Structures are given as structure tokens and as C-alpha cells.
Homo-oligomer: A and B are copies of this chain.
Amino acid sequence: MTYNTKQKDIILEKISKLEKDFTIKEVHNMLPDVGLTTIYRLVNKLEKDGCITKIGNDNEATYHYTGKCECGNHFYLKCNKCGMLYHVDCDYADKLSKHILEDHGFVTSKEHIIINGECKTCSKGVK
């Protein structure tokens, strides 16, 4: 019901090895031979499958490859200045999820907690 194509392999190969988050444009720049539309369509599908997390950005959508991992002990720190996404392994994430669920009845999204702010470098650099 779903074919394996060259483009799919190329895209998956690429984004699964990225250590940082990415935009559609970036992927397209890295893979000029794959059509823009195809990247949009595949990324959307991967997002539905749960392999990718969409990080609603300013005006351009940013995505992050998460694979199929179901581990809960981490969260993301997203720097609003430089755009970097830091993956943090930390017990605190579990505690936080549990707290939010038990005290506020809120299910944190697939254990992918994204907290916005400013990273060490940027908060020092500016001002």
C-alpha cells in the first residue's frame, strides 16, 4: 500500500542522521534532486507516523527527527535566538510529565516536551 522509492530512502537517510532540527527548505537544499513537494508530503506522513515532531516556529515550520523511540526521560530546549534545539536527557522530564498528568490532568505530547527560551550562548552574547 506504500511503495519504497529512492526519494523516500534518500530523505529518511538524511534527516535521521541530522543532529539538529530542520526546515523543509534546508532538506531541499541538501537534496536538490528531490522535489519540494515530495519533501513536504513525506515529512507530513512521517509526522503522522510519529517519527518526526513538528515544532511550530515563527513562519517556517521546523521539524525534528525522533525516530520511533518511546523513551520518556528527555525534553527539548529550543533557543528562540539561534533556533538550536537541545535534546536533554534528564529525569526531570519524567517528573514533570507525571506532575502535569497527576495534578493537571494533562497528557504531555508523546513525551516530547519543548521548552522555549534562550540558550547559554545567546543569553550571554546579547545585551
Interface residues of A (CB under 8 A from B): 54-59, 61, 77, 79-80, 86, 88, 90, 92, 96, 99-100, 103-109, 112-120, 123
Contact = CB atoms under 8 A, between A and B. Distances in A.
A100 to B, nearest CB: 7
Contacts of A56: 55-58
A99 B8 CA distance: 40
Contacts of A106: 77, 79, 86, 115, 117-120
A107 B123 contact: yes
A56 B78 CA distance: 12
A117 B123 contact: no
A118 to B, nearest CB: 5
